[in-house]
Amino acid sequence: MTLTALMGLTDTQENLWWGVVIGGFVVIAAVVALLTTLVLLVRTIERRVRTIRDTLQRAAANTSDTALIAQTADQVDAVLSEGLEHHLFLGRVLERVRS
């Protein structure tokens, strides 16, 4: 016995009924595919956010001693200044020695 005989449907009604059932399965398959894609994209985003967070934490750790930069610059200036004094002194001494 067919569905038409059991439910008292005409052929047109049965065809429409099957169309709706098949359409429902297509919609469900599309929703599953889209949700799967969404989950995969969210995982990728989370992984990349973690990578960026770790990179920023390492950058913060690498720059935690930036207060020493000013002190180092002052000391480098002092060394250069002393080197210049030695250069000028040696220049004067060598002129006297050669003459």
Q: Is the pTM of this model over 0.75?
A: no
pLDDT tens digits, one per residue of 9-58? 788 888 899 999 999 999 999 999 999 999 999 999 999 999 999 999 98
> Tokens 């399965």 sit at which residue?
25
Q: How far apart are CA 93 and CA 72, in angstroms?
A: 31
Asked if residues 4 and 10 have their Cβ atoms less than 8 Å apart, the reply is yes
Give the three-state DSSP class for 10.
Answer: coil
Residue 63: in which H helix or E strand, if any? none
The token duo for 24 is: 């429902």
Q: How far apart are CA 41 and CA 33, in angstroms?
A: 12
Closest C-alpha among 22, 4, 23, 25 to residue 13: 4
pLDDT tens digits, one per residue of 57-77? 988 887 777 777 778 888 888
